[in-house]
Homo-oligomer: A and B are copies of this chain.
Amino acid sequence: MTQENQTTAAVVAIERAGDHVGQTVAIRGWLYNLRESGKLLFPIFRDGTGVLQGVVSLKEHPDAFAALKGLPQESSVAVTGKIQAELRAPGGCEIHVSAIEVVQRVADSDPYPIQLKEHGVDFLLDKRHLWIRTPRQASILRIRADAIRAARNFMDDQGYTLTDAPIFTPAACEGTTTLFEVNYIDDQKAYLTQSGQLYVEATAAALGKVYTFGPTFRAEKSKTRRHLTEFWMLEPEAAYLHLEDMIELGEGLVSAMVQSVVKSRKRELATLGRDVSKLENIKPPFPRITYDEAVQVLQKAGNPTKWGDDFGGDEETLISKNFDKPVVIHRYPAAMKAFYMEADPKNPNLALSFDMIAPEGGGEIIGGGERQSSYETLVKRLREHNLPEQAFQWYLDLRRYGSVPHAGFGLGLERTVAWICGTEHIREVIPFPRMLYRVYP
């Protein structure tokens, strides 16, 4: 291990290399790939912002040639060279290398374990700390970061105040079967949050329009492509707002996330081979159908769903095939929904709830609705659901002291990003996925 050279050329990020055509610059990164062809070497470098192809000539730069020849993949290197336009190269330019400093040479006896070939997914998940270096995974993570930034900016611009819900909670929000139990201090027990909703209902009564955006946890024994035990949710809640307001907010939020990625992450979407025209189309308004209409759509398509059934992944995909934008399904049967849902005044068998289903089989990305604001009804519901009334006293306080109509929703970050990226499995869209039998690395 040597310190990198203090080169006189300015260090530039690969994603900005195209701005420096004709200039000699320095790149600090890693050797992603190397092709040798007689007296020429064709390396590909990466620095975290992108990949850059290079060329090294034995005749012109024998020292650089010697340093690079046979260098194992993923060795770290500081490279100096001139940027030249090259339309065939990714990014439209390449570097003509004049000097190379090897920062750390990967041992020939212990080569980088991820080769430029297909590996099994279990192997790649075991090597997740290295797998994220590949262009596809790195692109997904950059898209995730951009989608998060866009989501936060949108919420802030709409006047919503971020109020982080706690991770440690004293009781279950919707039953205990999928809760993770923590050994708290001195033999106390605590549970990891499944949703910040009850807490943002409290902060909405203090601050008006609020949201929480953090990790949530479900101990579900599901191995589907849409399940993680640890995932991020964005949950807005607003006093004095109603179902319709939340559907509009959800449309605006999803559209802001998608359009930001389309605008700022063109290169990454190209790396993923994503059909960008499908994303460019994602602008409000989104189609809206009632639960009743959704059941009809399914039945017409030959699906055996009956009124009162919940929709699984297959049904969501079937419905979404009718639309080229996310579809909002509203007014589900009240019996299917959580105890805190407000009933539709026009039909008390229906809840003022909605889900948003992503197109292209992306599944449910938003679920929400209007909350029960009557103290008496809420107590009745808690009893009907056999929930521990004592643990909900603080939540009932929100109806004792200045109850107001209020509504909100939860957006699942990983499902949304997976749909934007066009990835099959959501395990690829979080840096370190946690699943049924995986908490490593």
Contact = CB atoms under 8 A, between A and B. Distances in A.
Interface of A: 1, 3-4, 11, 13, 28-31, 47-49, 74-76, 78, 103-104, 106-107, 110, 112-113, 127, 129-130, 132-133, 137-138, 141-142, 144-145, 148-149, 152, 156, 159, 161-170, 180-186, 188, 190, 192, 199, 202-210, 214-215, 217, 219, 221, 229-230, 232, 239-240, 373-374, 394-395, 397-405, 430-432, 434, 436-437, 439-441
Given A180-B182, A215-B215, A397-B130, A149 B165 contact: no
Contacts of A232: 164
Contacts of A156: 145, 149
16 contacts: A1-B373, A13-B159, A48-B205, A48-B207, A74-B402, A76-B403, A78-B240, A104-B404, A110-B400, A137-B206, A141-B161, A145-B162, A145-B163, A168-B229, A169-B439, A199-B432
Give how many copies assemble into the complex. Answer: 2
A298 to B, nearest CB: 32
Given A181-B183, A402-B75, A440 B394 contact: yes
A239 B14 CA distance: 14
Given A163-B431, A430-B164, A192 B199 contact: no
Nearest to A114: B401
A52 to B, nearest CB: 13
Contacts of A398: 129
Given A184-B229, A395-B441, 20 more contacts: A13-B159, A13-B208, A28-B404, A30-B205, A48-B204, A48-B208, A75-B402, A78-B240, A110-B400, A132-B203, A137-B206, A149-B152, A164-B215, A164-B431, A167-B167, A169-B439, A183-B183, A190-B439, A203-B431, A214-B215
Contacts of A148: 162
Contacts of A141: 161, 163, 203, 206-207
